[in-house]
Structure 1
Amino acid sequence: MNRSLKQLMKSLLAPAFPGGIITILIFYLDYFQFELVEKFLLFAAFVIVPLVILLMNHDEKNKHQRMVYAAMKWLQFPAALLTLASVMSSKMWGLESTTIPGILSLGWLLFTLLLGIYGLTTIMISKGKAAELAIGAGLVYFFIGGIWFTLYQYQVNLFQANPATHALSSLHFHFSSAIVPIFIGALGRIMTKKSWYPWVVAIDIIGPILIAIGMIFSKPIEYMGVTLFACNIVIYTAYLLAYLRKNALDNKATFFLGLSCLAFYTVAVLSILYPLLKKIFFLTILDFIPVYGSLHAFGFVLCGLIGWVYTVDFIKRKKMVKENR
């Protein structure tokens, strides 16, 4: 028992374990009477962001980046706890009509600002490298997600959009908008140069903005953004699967990255079959939302992040072995 505990603490993913335990309790205990969108936002705060920070651990950092990175690493968990307190105050403590939930949400807003600063620094020192631009943009999108979360907790009506739309916008920027550019940037770091790659990065940066604008102002713009974004993920997953087949990586990395791609294609197939399944099983879109959300959050995003953390660590260890020969 003692040995297994020590092995657990030495695990590469150890920083995400405390948040993972809290997230499991949030999802499965009746005590936490939260909306599904709030549960997924807390999952992002407690699990997804620590894994993103782990993924950035092997970056070449200048002095300013090192300072911001240290602050990100130490402040993530306290900021996530403030996020939980913010949601609890509005849903469980009877403070929804006060400014307390909004004030508590500022902790997460300031933390995502740190992520955004790290992302901007990455872009500034990238020297135009498409992969670094993608990763930097993804980190900046976390900050936009933090802004939407604070607007949601303050229950502000903005641009004719209600707080429920703010919650969905925050979720969009914490998951797809932030994570897909980071994934594509991580792939760009290890793949051979391709002429189409900068275009994928450009679409990946513009797509989330189109989706966000469309959610508030125009459905056609939203559909266009979603289509472009989905096509980008298809390109990313197809190339990644081909790369995994041709290159020997860590077994854990290959397993989790493969699961991530499988989860995306499962979502795509379910979306195509939705009209048929709806008629056969008398289901509504509300029945499918938890399935789509779980496959995307726990399958595509979580497994993908774990896979990339293992991949980057494997490449680093391989490089060190070569240098020591």
Structure 2
Amino acid sequence: MHRFSKHLLKSSFVPFLPGAILIILLFSLDYVQLQLVEKFLLFAAFIIVPLVIVLLKYDDKNTSQRMIYTAIKRFHFPAALLALASVMSSTMWGWQGIALPGALSLGWLVLTLLLGVYGIMTIIVHKGKIAEWAIGAGLVYFFIGGLWFTLYQYQWTVFQATPATHALSSIHFHFSSAIVPIFIGMLGRIMTKRSWYPWIVVVDIIGPILIAIGMIVSKPLEYIGVALFACNIVIYTTYLLTYLKRNPLYKRASVFLVLSCLAFYTVIVISMFYPLLKRRFALTILDFIPVYGALHAFGFVLCGLVGWVYMASSMDARRGKLAYENR
């Protein structure tokens, strides 16, 4: 079982290593003069999405689903490179006045479209499994994030929203909107049935839409969406921590999942003390954005995805061992 588990983990993490190296260079080299929002978008393209792909399941008997999954795996890295070229061409190479950055971004839009199609197929195939609905909805939200990214790269104004708003909306859908439903779907795969779980999934699907609409037309609507979404994450993290305490078998997964939960709670604490810190140290919201972004992207999202990959690999290894012993 140990050897089988190691093989699963190696096959899970190796594909995203080239992207990880690129992201480290983008965040560390002074030569790369990208905006922070663009760096996080590329972080999502090269790190977050391939880890999500590892968590996807498909039915071997479903030819269409298997073909879409294969296309996603093969096209992901070229699409991420096109996203990188799109951002570099508009920010560093002085081509922002022409359509080339937008045209290059279409590669990433196609990849997110494939993810969205796969998400819809997941919902259709698993009609009675609410956890798979959550994962499918998260994949659809990646496509919406891809749309906002393309609008940002074309520098178009839509619904009186500026390109800067498009970039923030793309970040929102690549991280929170897509990832939280996937996390809650992964939790649904391992938890016992709870009467409240379907309501969590419903709120998880509606919340991002409220936030996105609110960002453009109504601040109160945005606040309602954020409050609902935050409450959902509190329920998810609380139940997950309880589950991990009762099931100490998944040690590596537990380390990363606990770190993910702690990162979320740290964001909450900093938000609560923000007014006091602002007055005492003469800080502005711009000083806190990198902190919030790092805690959310590297803490909650990245650690959470790594933890769920470990969890899925461990559970697959256990099922493989049981199948071998029952032959």
Quick one: higher RCO (CA 8 Å, sep 6+), 1 or 2?
2
1:76 aligns with 2:88: no
Q: Matched residues in 2 for 1:231 and 1:276: separation?
A: 23
For residues 98-156 of structure 1, the C-alpha deviation after alignment (integer angstroms, 9 at most, x for no partner) is 00000000000001000001100001111132101100000000000000000000000
Matched with 2:239 is 239
Aligned to 1:112: 112
Q: Which position in structure 1 is the counterpart of 2:166?
A: 166
User: Structure 1 residues 10 and 190, CA, compared in 2 at 3 Å: closer, same or farther?
Assistant: closer
1:30 is paired with a residue whose SS is: coil
Question: 1:249, CA displacement in angstroms?
Answer: 3.3
Shift of the alpha carbon at 1:93? 1.0
In the alignment, structure 1 residue 142 sits paired with structure 2 residue 149: no
Is the alpha carbon distance of 1:169 and 1:46 closer, same or farther for their aligned partners in structure 2, counting shifts above 3 Å? same
Encode CA deviations 1:244-269: one digit per residue, 9 max, x unaligned: 00013332101000100010000000
SS at match of 2:12: coil
- 1:195 and 2:195 correspond: yes
Taking the aligned partners of 1:302 and 1:59, their CA distance within structure 2 comes to 23
Match in the other structure for 2:218: 218
Q: Is the 8 A contact 1:249 1:311 kept in 2?
A: no
Give the superposition deviation at 1:12: 3.3
How many angstroms does 1:11 deviate by?
Answer: 5.9
Cα distance in 2 for residues equivalent to 1:274 and 1:138: 30
1:230-269 alignment runs, 5 A limit: 230-269=230-269
- TM-score between both structures, scaled by the size of structure 2: 0.95
1:59 deviation in Å? 4.2
Shifted more, 177-186 versus 27-36: the winner is 27-36
Match of 1:125 in 2: 125
2: distance between equivalents of 1:249 and 1:52?
23
Q: What whole-Å deviation, never above 9, does each CA across 1:221-272 have from its counterpart, x for those lacking one?
A: 0000000000000000000000000013332101000100010000000000
The one-character-per-residue Cα deviations of 1:259-313 (angstroms, maximum 9, x if unpaired) are: 0001000000000010111112111100000000000000000000000011011
| Structure 2 residue 297 is matched with structure 1 residue 297 | yes
**1:64 to 2:80 alignment:** no
CA distance in 1 between partners of 2:114 and 2:166 (Å): 21
Structure 1 match to 2:272? 272
SS at 2:96 equivalent: coil
Amino acid corresponding to residue 161 of structure 2 in structure 1 = A
- 1:283, 1:249 → 2: CA distance? 44
Amino acid at match of 1:130: I
Distance 1:275 1:170 in 2: 28
In the alignment, the residues of structure 1 paired with residue 245 and residue 260 of structure 2 have an alpha-carbon distance, to the nearest angstrom, of: 15
Per-residue deviation, 1:64: 1.1
Asked whether the 8 Å contact 2:58–2:66 carries over to 1, the reply is no
Q: Which moved more, 1:304-313 or 1:124-133?
A: 124-133
Change (3 A) 1:283 1:46: same
| Mapped contact 2:263–2:296 kept (Cα < 8 A) | yes
User: Is the Cα–Cα contact under 8 Å of residues 58 and 65 in structure 2 kept in the other structure?
Assistant: no
Q: Match of 1:313?
A: 313
RMSD: 1.4
Mean CA deviation greater in 315-324 or 103-112: 315-324
Query: In 2, Cα distance between the equivalents of 1:81 and 1:263?
Result: 29
Shift in Å, 1:178: 0.2
Calculate percent identity across the aligned residue pairs. Answer: 69
Alignment partner, residue 3 of structure 1? none
Relative distance call for 1:59 and 1:313 in structure 2 (3 A) is farther
Give, in angstroms, the shift of residue 320 of structure 1. Answer: 1.2
Q: Is the 8 A contact 2:211 2:222 kept in 1?
A: yes
**In structure 2, distance between residues paired with 1:95 and 1:167:** 18
Report the AA paired with residue 271 of structure 2. S
Paired residues of 1:86 and 1:101 also in contact (CA < 8 A): yes
Q: TM-score, normalised by structure 1?
A: 0.96
Q: Which amino acid aligns with 2:246?
A: K
Cα distance between partner residues in 2 of 1:10 and 1:160: 47
Paired with 2:156 and 2:23, the residues of 1 have a C-alpha distance of 27
